[in-house]
Amino acid sequence: MTGVFIVLKCFAHALIAIGRAGAIFNTASMAHGGAPNMAACSASKAAVIALVKTAARDLAHAAIRVNSISPAFIGPGQMWDREVELQAGTPSQYVPDDPDEVAAQMIASVPLRRCGSLDEVAATVEFLLSDDASYITAFDIEVSSARRCATSTAARRTASWLASSSRRR
């Protein structure tokens, strides 16, 4: 977290010193909402989002936008393999100890039933840094296939309401 703060502060000061508007983004994670076996990661990623929201307000006067992205499961690749391995190797009532079962459970929690790609994450960052996002600041974009929404009661109720109201028309 210290590194995120120092880089954000130095870059913002450099932009202000030359009188230039800009856009800054930081990477958090879907773990920011709490994830089994990941207390430290969850806390640090939540801190990144809090820093982004605070910095966005503090830097808005200088026309500097600050946002973050929170990727969910990105793969295939070394990071995905390591995450599956670590989850399987950590005793937990929430996660099986077989890596194949862990991977299947993780993918089953994603509405699109697949991992995201590095290109999808990069496209989100490209958008946040572009002029097309010139009015977006203090925001965290979840690159997650609606993972959080799919598991929330409010989302299920909203989806149910939308489905029933469309049938009435």
pLDDT of 160 over the 80 cut: no
- Give the whole-angstrom CA distance, residue 143 versus residue 74: 9
CB atoms within 10 A of CB 72: 21
What's residue 161's pLDDT?
52
Residue scoring higher pLDDT (68 or 1): 68
pLDDT tens figures, 97-127: 999 999 999 999 888 999 999 999 999 999 9
Terminal alpha carbon distance of the chain? 51
* Per-residue confidence (pLDDT) for residue 145, from 0 to 100: 80
2-72+116-162 carries CATH number 3.40.50.720: yes
Where do the structural domains in the chain lie, given as residue ranges?
Answer: 2-72+116-162
Least confident of 14-28, 35-49, 121-135, 137-151: 137-151
| Of 5, 120, 25, 12, residue with least CA distance to 67 | 25
DSSP at 116: B
User: In terms of Cα–Cα distance, which of 23, 26, 49, 51 is closest to 137?
Assistant: 23
More confident position, 39 or 13? 13
Instruction: Categorize the per-residue pLDDT at 167 as very low, low, confident or very high, splitting at 50, 70 and 90.
Output: low
Q: What is the pTM of this model?
A: 0.81
pLDDT at 68 over 90: yes
Q: Find the mean pLDDT for residues 62-82.
A: 94
- 15: pLDDT strictly greater than 90: yes
What tens digit of pLDDT does each residue of 35-49 get?
Answer: 877 889 899 999 999
